[in-house]
Amino acid sequence: MPNATITFTRYNEPNWLVRETLNSLAAQRGAACQVLFLDQRDDPETRDYTNSLSTKSLNFQYETIPAKSLSYARNCAIERAKYDTILYVDCDVIAEPDWASRMIETLARPGVGIAGGRIVPKWHARPLFISRARFVLDQYSMLDLGREHRTVARIVGANFGLRRDRLGVQARFDETLGRRGGLLFGGEDTELCNRARNAGLTVRYDGRATVQHQVLPDRIRYRWIFKRLYYAGIGRAMQGGLPAPSRALALWDYLALPIVLPFYGLGYLKGRLSLAKAKPPAQSQNETVQ
């Protein structure tokens, strides 16, 4: 059977939510995997439960790491993974039983450095009116481009994988980006995809590799969405360049723009100002270089 390391982390999500992710990973078929759970808090009960799930083909391992950031946790996984094919999920997803085997198959294709799968919502309350807009669904880390294969510019971090051997020195997440300390920063996945493509590798989407992303009631609020959009704007500014849609806008996107754009724009402006303050002043032509 094909091999991979499956990994995820949590910051402060509840045990019942993490267990649903663990149970879905324990149900994977068609692949022999190391399942590496890097917990940002020490939880003996979850440790025992995780280790109890090991089978002949699935080796579950529980380790605690410092609560620094999502990018830090993902880099820890790259360093500790047994296999070069590394699959990432969030700690609040439910993976279909053939998810891992589909991802491994796509990452085995020549020239593929990163692959992402289909992410559909599992709402725990009635979704907001503006959640029909793709841009808003992006804030919930959803991605649904259908069931087919295609080459894409980027993937979404709730369901993706990479080839450590092909990425080489590029197999690192920028730890200035991504969620940390409960703050909703993002952009680390897109930044990695950009570097992979600049290195000549392909980013692929496989719609057969599907997970459900659970959306709890505390995130089905306008306040959470507006806060997430603000931090998304900061993250985009930190990557440089001007913000641009990743795909054509649909009707619901246009309808939601007047509501969401001010918060994203404020975040983008904040990020640009932070970059300007951090940039060292240009050296005067009259200054003597020592």
pLDDT, tens digit (0-9, with 9 covering 90-100), for 102-134: 999 999 999 999 999 999 999 999 999 899 888
Residue with tokens 């009116």: 129
**What are the residue ranges spanned by the domains of the chain?**
3-134+141-218
More confident residue, 134 or 165: 165
Among 187, 180, 185, 158, residue whose Cα is nearest residue 66: 180
**pLDDT (tens digit per residue) in 16-28:** 999 999 999 999 9
Range with the largest mean pLDDT of 136-145, 200-209, 219-228, 258-267 = 200-209
**Residue of 33 and 242 predicted with greater confidence:** 33
Q: Quick: pLDDT tens for 185-218.
A: 667 888 899 999 999 999 999 999 999 999 999 9
Average pLDDT of the chain to the nearest whole number = 89
> ∠ at Cα 147 (143, 148), nearest 5°?
105
User: Has residue 270 got a pLDDT over 90?
Assistant: no
* The pLDDT of residue 245: 60
CA 289 to chain CA centroid, nearest Å: 44
Q: Where are the beta strands (DSSP E) in the chain?
A: 3-10, 32-39, 58-64, 85-89, 93-95, 112-123, 149-151, 159-163, 202-215
Q: Give the model's pLDDT for residue 288.
A: 43
And the tokens for 10?
A: 């949590």
Retrieve residue 1's tokens: 């059977």
Give 229-266 pLDDT, tens digit per residue: 898 888 778 766 666 665 677 787 888 888 888 988 88
Instruction: Give residue-wise pLDDT tens across range 46-69.
Output: 999 999 999 999 999 999 999 998
Higher per-residue confidence, 149 vs 182: 149
The structural architecture, per CATH, of the domain 3-134+141-218 is: Alpha-Beta Complex (3.90)
CB-side neighbour CA atoms (13 Å) of 187: 26
Under the banding of pLDDT at 50, 70 and 90, the label for residue 277 is confident
Q: What is the pTM of this model?
A: 0.88
